Structure 1
Amino acid sequence: MNKASDETLSVVVERDLPHPPEKIWRALTQPQLIQEWLMANDFQPVVDHRFKLSADWGAVDCLVLAVEPHKTLTYTWDAYGLESVVTWTLTPTGTGTLLRMEQAGFRPDQRQAYQGAKGGWPQFFTALEQVLARIE
């Protein structure tokens, strides 16, 4: 039997954003801002903090795994049998920040969840960019 990690798929989205890492970090970690581009939540950027992302279709159970302010944020993303990990990486560039999101852990039999994430994350990123354009 192969290790699960050999068989799982990841969804990766990268965007070059014209904003400093500190500003993007706020949008990734402040509950009222997260709600505007992702879902209602009770997030806190604290390792081992359990939080829920709630939408009209249901909820995602999450646990913060790693917090490195303005650099990296990692949390579990468990919903409907999907046990995955979302990692945000912020890399400063000459014009702003390269924001990378990887959601890892889709099993081959979770094709629907995988396709949903592939379609969903770019929309979340677009909403995030709108929030970033609006806040100071």
Structure 2
Amino acid sequence: MGETVVVEREFAHPPAKLWRALTTPHLMAEWLMESAFAPVVGTRFQFRADWGTVDCEVRVVEPERRLAYTWDAYSLKSVVTFTLTPTATGTRLRMEQTGFRPNQTPFLEGARAGWPRFLEALDALLARTP
């Protein structure tokens, strides 16, 4: 089973706006990484960064509610799931990355440090886009 990283954050934007930022490649490039993502189950894509690539496959697409894809880099085989929940003031986003094995502490620590920064960048993107 392995370890899991969970990051939850409240956004002052409706689910539709978050969904667009989670699923539109040019927006994803601004807060996460460059990719040729398409929100279609079974689609394979790669995230590209200066440190390398992440091989992914879309697993779940429930527009404005849930998105999941595999996240495989080096020896890490994991799944990232975003769950969007409407709130009175916007949307609560839960990001869960599962599948870290006990010997993968560097990947686990990287995810624990990285996802809050990614979501901070997402919030900044949402604040400056219509």
Instruction: Compute the TM-score of the two structures, normalised by the length of structure 1.
Output: 0.95
What's the counterpart of residue 88 of structure 2?
Answer: 94
Asked if 1:118 is matched to 2:118, the reply is no
Residue pairs, 1:21-60, within 5 angstroms: 21-60=15-54
Q: Please tell me the residue identity of whatever aligns with 1:67.
A: V
Match of 1:107 among 101, 106, 129: 101
Structure 2 portions without partners, runs of 5+? none
Q: Distance in 2 between matches of 1:24 and 1:124?
A: 13
Identity %: 60
Letter in 2 for 1:111: T
User: Shift in Å at residue 109 of structure 1?
Assistant: 0.1
Residue 84 in 1 paired to residue 103 in 2?
no
Deviation at residue 39 of structure 1 after TM alignment: 0.5
For 2:103, the aligned partner's letter is: D
Give 3-state SS (helix, strand or coil) of 1:40's partner: coil
Higher Rg: 1
Q: Distance in 2 between matches of 1:45 and 1:115?
A: 28
Q: Quote the Cα distance in structure 2 between the aligned partners of 1:110 and 1:80.
A: 11
Q: For the aligned residues, what is the CA RMSD?
A: 0.4
Q: Could you report, residue by residue, the CA deviation over 1:64-104 in whole angstroms, capped at 9, with x for unpaired residues?
A: 00100000000000001100000000000000000000000
Once the two structures are superposed, residues 3-34 of structure 1 have per-residue CA deviations (whole angstroms, 9 ceiling, x without a partner) of: xx2xx000000001100000000000000000
Counterpart AA for 1:22: A
How far the C-alpha of 1:40 sits from its partner, in A, is 0.7
- Cα distance in 2 for residues equivalent to 1:74 and 1:40: 17
Q: Identify the residue that residue 128 of structure 2 maps to in structure 1.
A: 134
Shift of 1:121: 0.4
Structure 1 stretches of 5 or more lacking a match? none
In the comparison of the two structures, how many residue pairs are matched?
130
